[in-house]
A and B are shown apart, each in its own frame.
Chain A
Amino acid sequence: MRLIGFSTGALARNDFRRALRMLTERRVRAVELSALRQEELIPLVEQLDSLDLRGFEYKAFHAPSLMEPEFEAVAIGVLEQVALREWPIIVHPDAMHRPSEWARFGELLCIENMDKRKPIGQTVADLADIFGSLPRALLCFDIGHARQVDPTMSEAAAILQRYSARLRQLHVSEVNSQSKHDPLSFESVLAFRRVAHLVPENIPVILESRVEEDGIYDEIENACKALSVEDVLALTGD
């Protein structure tokens, strides 16, 4: 059984306490604390000690997806406190202005592959350049981004095969043409099943689908189907 949880930002934007409550009440065992906007970073980190995260087996932290160059040093300093907890820190490649500064996080640093909007980080070749300058960093594979870039999932398969040793975590959602994270459609489920066998069972899955509170279980169940190798075989035999 895969470890599947949610990003706090997907469930309750700007209100991580509410998102944590939703997940705790439903005994979800994985969470990614999200500070996608620059201004959210410091308040979230300052409150980490006061959060009850005992119910979560897996915890990750999403750094801001965009940062002003002058804020980068501040962000890195603040994220040191996250690193002390040994949580993976998810970073978008284009958010780093001086990648070498981020190298200090070593294997806790997880580079996320990007969607169509972003100038870098979409393909195997793009990621090769990034990992070249951050050799210890791991990969947070966003399967929705990969599908948006290449719906045939060829690039997704190539990334998963090339960086299997770096794979630390999965982001799952349906990424629409405006690059927003939607709940999984059957189309996404079919696409994700094509590469599900390349994602080991022990890789934690974080859902970024924007769902209402009563849709949490359904989305988790749908993600399980999308990443189920058995369903892939069943589909082939349909």
Chain B
Amino acid sequence: MLQLGTMTGAERTIASVSELLQLAPLPTARDAASKTREELDELLSAGIRKYTSEDTSLVVFGSLARGEWTSGSDLDWTYLIDGQANSDHLLIAQKIQKLLKDHKEKFRPPGQTGTFGSMAFSHDIIHQIGGQNDTNRNTTQRILLLLESAPIGRSNQAHERIIRGVISRYLEEDTHLLTADSRQYRIPRFLLNDIVRFWRTMAVDFASKQRDRAGEGWGLRNAKLRMSRKLIFVSGLLVCFGCNLDTSLQKKISTGEGDIKLNLVNHIREQVRLTPLEILADAVERYRISNTVAQELFGAYAEFLRVLVDKKSREALENLRASDSRTDPTFQHVTDISKAFEHALDHIFFENSQLAPLTRKYGVF
């Protein structure tokens, strides 16, 4: 097993699940994300007073939303619109772009794909799930809105409405929300399939980007795929499986409390309000994952963040090409970290008595 700096072995007892989230440098990255979101709001408020409205939210994704901000992180943002068509929206998005460009040392611009850094509309995100018009960009915006997004500033109505709209739309396509005996919620299959599809899309796009960019940035993208992108997928799986396993949710069926669909929408909404790491920590407690596995899981992730925080390591990954991956010591370290992460995930999803049957039933076929 990988020996990580903060891990003191399998014997260590974790006093509480929250302790997992305190492994260095997770709290530092979380605080940095919170502070950066505030700074972003201050910058935009100073430059464009009240830059959002009832119909619009400025939403960030990626490490800033997950609470994993490091000095080298990109700022992935979208000016999210859920309201009447208004040609001024482009003007506002351009003003935001310009302001951020003027402060690019602090807020590094998003990647080259064009997925972020401009406007996005609720209609496409909610209506175009699957089918010819569900573009890669649309799928990415939608799944990341659910699993790793945060509104900036106080105005979050549009963000909130769209997230609830997306969840509701997924559930509308599932014929039955309850099991045949009406005692449990079923796994929301449409949502689950879209999350699985997104994970596979990210993996396929990894190869596509390698070709498009002639191998540039391969090391960092590979490391992210192994860790942070996989974490998004894992958190999505846990949210879906939780619909069937959460006892307080199932209890509402028998007591007749509230509307069947609305209860599920609310449950999923509350779950995705957590960051992916918080969802994982919650699962550790909920499914009684052993301390050894929990430490391996969170220790690996904390170590991954430590690599990203370290300027030299991050640069080494940024400059690494696939051909040198088997000899590069930084990448070898990342490989070890990701193996530990995967080992712990394998245990959780294939050996835990509650999760393993669901993984078998819904995970592959």
Contact = CB atoms under 8 A, between A and B. Distances in A.
A183 B48 CA distance: 14
A177 B56 CA distance: 12
Interface string B28-56: 00000000000000000000111111111
A174 B91 contact: no
B88 A191 contact: yes
B91 A185 contact: no
Contact of B53 (A152, A188, A222): A188
Interface string A148-185: 00011000000000000000000000101100001111
Contact of B88 (A174, A182, A187): A187
Contacts of B112: none
A186 B56 CA distance: 11
Contacts of B88: 187, 190-191
Contact of B50 (A176, A177, A184, A191): A184
Given A187-B88, A187-B92, A222 B54 contact: no
B117 to A, nearest CB: 18
A186 B86 contact: no
Interface string A19-43: 0000000000000000000000000
Which residue of B49, B85, B89 has the most chain A CB atoms within 10 A of its CB atom? B49
Interface in A38-83: none
A174 B52 CA distance: 12
Nearest to A182: B54
B83 interface: yes
Given A151-B86, A186-B49, A177 B54 contact: yes
Contacts of A183: 50
Contacts of B49: 186, 189, 218, 222, 225
Contacts of B84: 151
A176 B86 contact: no
A187 B48 contact: no
B55 to A, nearest CB: 8
Interface in B52-73: 52-56
B121 to A, nearest CB: 15
Contacts of A184: 50
Nearest to B50: A185
B7 to A, nearest CB: 49
Interface residues of A, number: 18
Contacts of A185: 50-54, 56, 155
A187 B89 CA distance: 7
Contact of B86 (A177, A187, A218, A225): A187
A151 to B, nearest CB: 5
B48 A177 contact: no
Contacts of A222: 49-50
B157 to A, nearest CB: 9
A212 to B, nearest CB: 12
A225 B49 CA distance: 11
B300 to A, nearest CB: 43
B52 A190 contact: no
Contacts of A174: 53-54
Nearest to B52: A185
A176 B91 CA distance: 20
A177 B53 contact: no
Contacts of B53: 174, 182, 185-188
Nearest to B98: A238
B48 A186 contact: yes
B98 to A, nearest CB: 9
Contacts of A218: 49
A218 B46 CA distance: 12
A183 B155 CA distance: 12
A182 B54 CA distance: 9
Interface in B230-269: none
Nearest to B53: A185
A153 B95 CA distance: 21
Given A190-B88, A190-B91, A177 B83 contact: yes
Contacts of B52: 185
Contacts of A186: 48-51, 53, 92, 95
B83 to A, nearest CB: 7
Nearest to B157: A176
A137 B88 CA distance: 34
Interface string B151-194: 00001000000000000000000000000000000000000000
A187 B87 CA distance: 10
A191 B95 CA distance: 15
Contacts of A190: 88, 91-92
A225 B86 CA distance: 20
Nearest to B51: A186
Interface in A182-230: 182-191, 218, 222, 225
Nearest to B87: A152
A12 to B, nearest CB: 21
Which residue of B48, B54, B85, B91 has the most chain A CB atoms within 10 A of its CB atom? B54
28 contacts: A151-B84, A151-B85, A151-B86, A152-B87, A174-B53, A174-B54, A176-B54, A177-B83, A182-B53, A183-B50, A184-B50, A185-B51, A185-B52, A185-B53, A185-B56, A186-B48, A186-B49, A186-B50, A186-B51, A186-B53, A187-B53, A187-B56, A187-B86, A187-B92, A188-B53, A190-B91, A191-B88, A218-B49
- Nearest 10 CB-CB pairings of A with B: A185-B53, A185-B50, A176-B54, A190-B88, A187-B53, A186-B48, A151-B86, A186-B51, A151-B84, A186-B50
